[in-house]
Structure 1
Amino acid sequence: MSTIALNLETDMVALPAPKLPPTASLEQALKRRRSSRDFLPDALTLEQLSALLWAAFGINRRDSAGRTAPSAHNWQEIDVFVVLREGAYRYDPQAHRLLLVKAEDLRGASGTQDFVADAPLNLVYVADFTRMSGARPEEREFLAGADAGCIAQNVYLLCAVAGLASVVRGLIDRQRLAKALGLSSQQRIALAQTVGLPASA
């Protein structure tokens, strides 16, 4: 099982090719989908992380750079930030890799509930309003939230068939987390989602 290993020359983590559970059906995934706030502290493998991120918002059509989740007007305005014990990263779907944002454990800043600080993985869905050309200001947060919700559901379904626990969260000190991640004034945190091995069956 692979673990996180930085390329010290580029602050980058190359992810293995995503491999999803081969036998689960959509019906099984939907029946098993649930929210859980009880996680083991065990780190996820690089293989598990690769599958999660690809399912969330990876490239599924190389000829058109289409994604696994829809986005309004194909803006693809959501960036997936990966908050681990080892540091915070931004997922680069084109190259299927992680780019280091901060070499610091920011899990405790990724939500206001106690369990987020010890869970192995917190995903943070950040909307970049500069990509939403033509959107009225009053529409941007609503549309970005809808797009983030689609991504979160993809993660839920992957977790359901991969034996992982997950919960999507809106309870976030957005100002604190945005500062910790170094976000600009045009980037807004839509949602966060915690993932890990379930503490109980």
Structure 2
Amino acid sequence: MTDGGMSLLGALHQRRSARTFAPTPLDTVTLSTLLWAAFGVNRPDTGHRTAPSARNWQEIELYLAMPDGLYVLEPADWRLRLVVGEDLRAATGLQDFVAGAPLNIVYVSRLSKLDETDKPLRQFYTALDTGFISQNVYLFRAAFGLVTVARGLLDRRALAVAMRLDADQRVALAQSVGHSG
């Protein structure tokens, strides 16, 4: 689904953070559309995405912590692959509400995609690219009547272990998404 929702100006007017979530999961169509809006392929001929990426590195990977497990989005095949078969939502942040949000997106940087870039620039580009994707989630949230909050307060090292990330991956940010509670 690539149409629907409100106007861009309407979505910007409604853009806000919320920390109260109903336990109701997102239906499959809403989840798929949210992920496409966040960082989906909108130009199949080039593989370019809905959010810009420095030098088109596309180093950000979207992991989804849901009640039935942790998944990673594989955009080329447009599918979710189960990574961990347990509920890791509580591990995605230090705030109490994260465990009850039906979806926590964890933005992970794949460092090897950042060609010979020094560490400060890798951190900068990772933060920049993550921000673009997160803002797309905020705009989708507004257009489709959901709630969200981006969160930097998390134990990145412990979360990386729980997510079974490899040495080439770094947790950048988490974002809770769901229906208003």
* TM-score when normalising by structure 2: 0.97
- Distance, in Å, in 1 between the alignment partners of 2:5 and 2:63 is 29
Question: 2:26: which partner in 1?
Answer: 44
Question: 2:54: which partner in 1?
Answer: 72
Q: How many residues in Structure 1 have an aligned counterpart in Structure 2?
A: 181
What per-residue deviation string (whole Å, max 9, x for no partner) do you get for residues 60-113 of structure 1? 001000100011111000000011001000001111110110010000101100
Kept in 1: contact 2:5–2:144 (CA 8 A)? no
Distance 1:23 1:124, change over 3 A: closer
Residue 127 of structure 2: which of 145, 148, 160 is its match?
145
Residue 35 of structure 1: which of 5, 9, 17 is its match?
17
- Distance, in Å, in 2 between the alignment partners of 1:183 and 1:55 is 25
Question: 1:119: which partner in 2?
Answer: 101
* TM-score when normalising by structure 1: 0.88
Q: Please report how far the alpha carbon of residue 20 of structure 1 lies from its aligned counterpart in structure 2 after TM superposition.
A: 4.7
Q: Please report how far the alpha carbon of residue 22 of structure 1 lies from its aligned counterpart in structure 2 after TM superposition.
A: 1.5
Unaligned runs of at least 5 residues, structure 2: none
| SS at 2:4 equivalent | coil
Q: Please report how far the alpha carbon of residue 135 of structure 1 lies from its aligned counterpart in structure 2 after TM superposition.
A: 1.1
Kept in 2: contact 1:21–1:162 (CA 8 A)? no
- Distance, in Å, in 1 between the alignment partners of 2:171 and 2:132 is 15
Q: Please report how far the alpha carbon of residue 134 of structure 1 lies from its aligned counterpart in structure 2 after TM superposition.
A: 2.5
Unaligned runs of at least 5 residues, structure 1: 1-18
- Distance, in Å, in 1 between the alignment partners of 2:121 and 2:5 is 40
Letter in 2 for 1:170: G
- Relative contact order, higher structure (CA 8 A, sep 6+): 2
| SS at 1:133 equivalent | coil
Q: Percent identity?
A: 50
Q: CA RMSD in A?
A: 0.9
